Structures are given as C-alpha cells and as structure tokens.
Amino acid sequence: MGHLLTPDAFLKSIYAIHPDGLRKLGIKGLILDIDNTLVPTYTRDADIKIKSFLEELNKNGIKTVIVSNAKQARVEQFCRYLNIDYIYKARKPLSNGFLKAAGRMGLEPCHVAIVGDQLFTDILGGNLLGMKTFLIKPIDDNEPFFIKFKRLFEKPFLRGRHYMDKL
C-alpha cells in the first residue's frame, strides 16, 4: 500500500509548480484541491496571486480543474473569481471526480497531475488512477477535527521528507 501513498513530488507550496517542470514530466493538465492547498481551509476567496499562477499555467498550455470534497457553495464561491472549471463534493479518493475532471480537460490520466495536501484523498486517489501526484505541504493546521485525526495516520509516511521549492 506504501507506493499508493507516495506522491511523485513533495512541494513546499503550489508556487513550486512551473510550466517547464510539468512539460518535462509530460503533464498537460492539473487537478487542484482547494483547502490547505490553494488557500487555508477557512479562507473563502482566492486572491490575485492564485489567479495569476493559474493564468500563467493556462497561457503555457497547461489545463486546470478544481476537484474538491467541499460543498457546492464553498467551491462555487471560490472558483467564480478564478473563472476555473470545478467539481464539488468529489468524494476523493474515489475515482469519479478525478476521471470527470480529466475528461473535461480531454486528457488521459497519464498526462494529468493531482495537486493536493492530503495523502488519503488527493494522493491515494491520483495514484490509484495512474495520474502523477504532487503533495503540497498544508498551508496551516487550522482544520476540522476529522482532518486533524487523519493527519495522525499520514505522519509515518511523511517523516523525514524534503519538500521542494521548485518542481
């Protein structure tokens, strides 16, 4: 089970991701998590820095979709400003949301990377489908109780890992 919980890269933040690095890995599309990946869990709105980051990727031919387990209202509000396609209540790590997102981008799973902060949702789900997986260091530890609880089980898989500044 270990390899299914091992991401292809450990990244300090989303800003470690650059079009050149993605190109080298054959990645043409990103599936992005919201909570504790793009913004802290209780931050409702995206900011200009995230918007510019996504626009830069898109300009370089990298497609982007949000796939979140959060509710419709949270995901819609967040994505409106970014003008990005999204799937809410995705039930990650189940495959359906990820496959739908890859389909919307018109990409095979092998050309897609999952970007997220949780091993048992984002990374497990992506690895099960043969997608590339990038684990982002969670932005902060202000999270609901059930996620704090899951973090305890992530710990053995994260010990001693080096998080990269640049992919």
Site for Mg ion, rule CB under 5 A: 33, 35-36, 117
- The identity of residue 167, as a single letter, is L
Cα 139 to Cα 11, 41, 57, 86: the distances in Å are 11, 8, 21, 21
Write down the least CB distance from residue 20 to Mg ion, Å: 26
Residue nearest to Mg ion (CB): 35
Q: Which is nearer to Mg ion, 36 or 64 (CB)?
A: 36
- The identity of residue 133, as a single letter, is T
Write down the least CB distance from residue 61 to Mg ion, Å: 26
Distance CA 128, CA 97 (A): 13
Q: Which is nearer to Mg ion, 61 or 153 (CB)?
A: 153
Write down the least CB distance from residue 2 to Mg ion, Å: 21
Burial class (CB in 10 A: 0-12, 13-18, 19+), 151: middle
Write down the least CB distance from residue 109 to Mg ion, Å: 20
Distance CA 79, CA 108 (A): 24
Q: Which is nearer to Mg ion, 36 or 133 (CB)?
A: 36
Q: Which is nearer to Mg ion, 122 or 167 (CB)?
A: 122
